Structure 1
Amino acid sequence: MSLKKATLLIFIILLIDQVSKIYIKTHFQLGEDVTVFSWFKIAFIENDGMAWGTKLSDFIPSVSDQLAKLILTLFRIIAVIGIGIWLVNATKKKNSKILVFAIALIFAGALGNIIDSVFYGILFSDSSMQVATFLPEDGGYAGVFHGSVVDMLHFPIWSGLIPDHIPLIGGRYFSFFDPVFNVADVAISTGIGILIVFNNKVFEDTPKTESLESESHNSPT
């Protein structure tokens, strides 16, 4: 996959991600949800921390939530720069199309969530008990780098009591799938999943240019 095609893929994912987030932010109150199917809901929540709502301050109590949020956002920016460099190098070296595709997905997803963290705090008013306003006259709900990531996709596929005869977990209430996420999260998870499933093919393929050079050196003169 060429860098041009990878860039187009990134643009499409970012467009879908941001359009869906802006729509939710400007049409839903925080905590509001709509049932589309019995197994799928649009549920608006905001994520201030890391994956699964974890915060850096949960591990280091001395770090304030504001500082932890800033550190996390800066870390995300550094990470996405590194992923971008990886993507460019992979296309230049003509690495596996699967590898380039996976990196592009991860890059698009990471960038999509960074946009929320960096800009949404100054672009939108607060969503608690009200629908947010875009570019409010009295300022946004947080400063730059302190925005919250918008999540809205919820798949409560099954919930109920686990049969008593099942060892260890029998009799407990179980719900699958509880996490609420967004399009960017789907892109990141898919990209990582591709790297894991196709690990051998992705990382062991020799680039075509290197293969040709190797054959020319090894051929008799």
Structure 2
Amino acid sequence: MKGYTKPLLLITIILLVDQISKIWVKLNMTIGQSFKVISDRVMIQFIENPGMAYGMEFGGEYGKLFLSVFRIIAVAGIGYGLVYMVKNKYNRGFILNVALIFAGALGNIIDSAFYGLIFSESTPYQKAVLFPDGGGYATFLHGYVVDMFHLPIWKGTFPTWFPIWSGEEFVFFRPIFNVADSAISIGVFLILIFNNRYFKEEHVEKHDVNNEVVED
């Protein structure tokens, strides 16, 4: 198990925080309900996303099914890659970043695969019920992803000289997201930022190993 402890611990923590926060929101809030955490800049707002991360959609029932199947294949590929990286002693930081992406993708798959089976439908007028008598609101792989974090940090209006959106209102950051989305974004961001460092260290380690073999 050497080398697997930290990635597995990170994945477990992300999944627990992600699922606990989603289940709490699902059982305690109605669709569209929101409350302020820090003034109107940090808010909890409950929406359900039938598509991709940050509220983006991939249209239609077949689109939803395709997206769910694609997610499962992608997570299986990432999981296989993660095991390969640990076995071959890739850079630890890189492995943890991939673990973040894996945990986030798996967290949203859980929603898509099982929430439709175990929850009643959330509406603007009633909260969901866990394991309802009449069954869930959707079939396997057709559940909605629960999103709740809304950070409209900066609101304003585009100046009149600005092309296309002249005079229109804008909000930064507009998308509503969840813990799983955050884990994916952080993992990808850190890989992009530290990419050269990760693979430079990988090259140095392999070079040192080769030198030791030659010297022996």
TM-score by length of 1: 0.89
Alpha carbons 1:94, 1:208 under 8 Å: kept = no
Q: Which residue of structure 2 aligns with residue 115 of structure 1?
A: 110
Q: Compute the displacement of 1:113 (Å).
A: 0.3
Question: Relative to structure 1, is the Cα distance of residues 71 and 214 closer, same or farther in structure 2, using a 3 angstrom cutoff?
Answer: same
Q: Contact 1:6/1:101 (CA < 8 Å) preserved in 2?
A: yes
**Counterpart residue number, 2:129:** 133
Moved over 6 A (4+): none
What whole-Å deviation, never above 9, does each CA across 1:149-200 have from its counterpart, x for those lacking one? 0000000112122344x54355331111110000000000000001100111
Aligned partners of 1:93, 1:208: CA distance in 2, in Å?
14
- Aligned partner of 1:178 in structure 2 is 174
CA distance in 1, matches of 2:55, 2:115: 18
Match of 1:42 among 31, 41, 44: 44
CA distance in structure 2 between the aligned counterparts of 1:13 and 1:54, rounded to whole angstroms? 22
The answer to whether the 8 A contact 1:95-1:205 is kept is: no
* Offset at residue 34 of structure 1 (A): 0.8
> Among residues 140, 143, 146, which one is paired with 1:144 in the alignment?
140
Q: Secondary structure at the match of 2:202?
A: coil
CA contact (8 A) 2:118 2:136 kept: yes
State the percentage of identical aligned residues.
46
Question: Relative to 1, partners in 2 of residues 1:207 and 1:91: Cα closer, same or farther, differing over 3 Å?
Answer: farther
RMSD between aligned residues: 1.9
User: 1:218 is paired with a residue of what secondary structure?
Assistant: helix
Who is 2:23 aligned against? 22
CA contact (8 A) 1:125 1:133 kept: yes
Q: Secondary structure at the match of 1:46?
A: strand
Per-residue deviation, 1:133: 0.1
1:194 matches 2:190: yes
- Deviation per residue, 1:81-131 (Å, 9 max, x gap): 111111111111111111011001001100000000000000100001210
- Which residue pairs with 1:206 in the alignment? 202
Residues of 1 paired with 2:208 and 2:199: CA distance?
18
User: Can you list the C-alpha shifts for 1:51-70, whole angstroms capped at 9, x where unaligned?
Assistant: 3444433xxxxxxx222111
Distance 1:55 1:163 in 2: 30
Instruction: Number of aligned residue pairs: give it.
Output: 212
Higher mean displacement: 170-179 or 25-34 = 170-179
Q: Does 1:8 align with 2:9?
A: yes
Unaligned stretches of 5+ residues in structure 2:
none
